Amino acid sequence: MEGEKSVLLRYLRAQRAVVLAVLEGLSEAALTTSVLPSGWTPLGMVEHLGYAERYWFQEIVTGRADPVAWPDDDHAPLTTPRSPEVVFAFYRHQCARSDEIFAATPLDTPCHGRYPDLPEAEVGDLRGVALHVIEETARHAGHLDVVRELIDGRTELGPR
């Protein structure tokens, strides 16, 4: 029987794979152009997801985060001046770092940090953080899926 930790990691990795697969093959112009009134870009969303991985697994779980290679610039609404190569490498690196923390930490380990807008019981330990990041990644993967359809009409992209 597969353990709870393995199941959580499998679901998290599956959602991350959807994010990358949905955007695969898009040009830099498509990745950096907003198609929605809110103004976010697909590449900006990937960078946001990288920051989310970093924030939840590093800052919240361990209490400290590795520095990023650029000034901590918040580009609202979810845009970025960085190239696709840099952003996708950042996302993959943050996911790998999250996996390291996840592997080394028991699920019931209390968090060192706290997100002010969520009840502590919801994200009070690694289990809650993992569930939150799965939910956030899945939500944004859905956003990216819709945006991809608006860009070039392609649907049902991603791992099967």
Architecture of the domain made up of 4-152 = Up-down Bundle (1.20)
Angle (CA) 51 27 11, round 5°: 45
Cα–Cα distance for residue pair 98/95, rounded to 1 Å = 5
Across the chain, which distance is largest between two alpha carbons, in Å? 46
At residue 119, does pLDDT exceed 90? Answer: no
* pLDDT tens column, 4-54: 999 999 999 999 999 999 999 999 999 999 999 999 999 999 999 999 999
Where are the chain's structural domains? 4-152
From the list 32, 72, 30, the residue with the least C-alpha distance to 50 is 72
pLDDT value, residue 124: 86
pTM: 0.92
| pLDDT reported for residue 113 | 81
